[in-house]
Chains A and B, each alone.
Chain A
Amino acid sequence: MKRAFLAILQRDLQIAFRRVSEIANPLLFFIIVASLFPLAVSPDSDHLRSIGSGVLWVVALLSSLLALEGLFRADAEDGSLEQLMLSPVPLGVAALAKVTAHWLVTIVPLVVLTPVLALSFALPVGVLPVMAFALLLATPTLSVLVALGAALTLGLRRGGAIVGLLVLPLTAPLLIFGTRAIDLALYGESAVAPLYLLAALAALAVSLGPVAIAAALRVGVE
């Protein structure tokens, strides 16, 4: 099972790196939308500091939605998803491998980029490790939710717009704990509690999420 997981992961990573533009698009979107906020709200650094963590979180959520079209659709169209279903590997494991690939390719670059943008929002350097850590703990859950949205809308010809409706309400807890961790760090307090909660959510999502994704894929491919 482990070998199958690694094989699917490797395959998806290879495919992803052949189409670099698809990796770059969500990143560019992230940078552009984040830089619209100082223009739209105020370039004042005190102001930016107070909205910075929230803005970066929301924009990160939105840009992670951009990359989901390619998550299962291409595989459903060329039949490799059906092959996976017929193979002895549990579909949940295969789904987890694909989600992991998606997370590595599209979300980790976002996490790397966020501290840089955070600096431009006048957030102090001391906060950045907490922010990166919170994002690392929250994004697996986010990836699972996005993949679930992609799987649920697999049977639709154009599922793009509706996925946002399905996924975004479910991300509210991530947003709450994620920004809370940064705020606590900003006031010089311990941010451990929200980070633990994010880790708990990630454990829940990574263990139960693939089951739901597999169920949705089975309905979608029929």
Chain B
Amino acid sequence: MNEILSMGGHGAYVWPAYGITLAVIVFNAWAARRKLAIALDEARRSRATEQPRNQPRVRQLQ
């Protein structure tokens, strides 16, 4: 186990490289889920305020 972790003395390069790649994948997956959750939430809220139409309505000014 120790041998794998040290990577022949190059563990300080190999493991961060793998870690960053994993982090990028996880981050992208998380960001997509979060974006979907927010978008669904907004869609539900916009239903609560107005009747749905076939065409997208002009967004109201806040």
Find out whether A and B make contact in their complex, taking CB atoms under 8 A apart as touching. Answer: no
Which residues of A come within 8 Å of B, CB atoms?
none
Q: Write the residues of chain B forming the contact surface with A, with a CB cutoff of 8 angstroms.
A: none
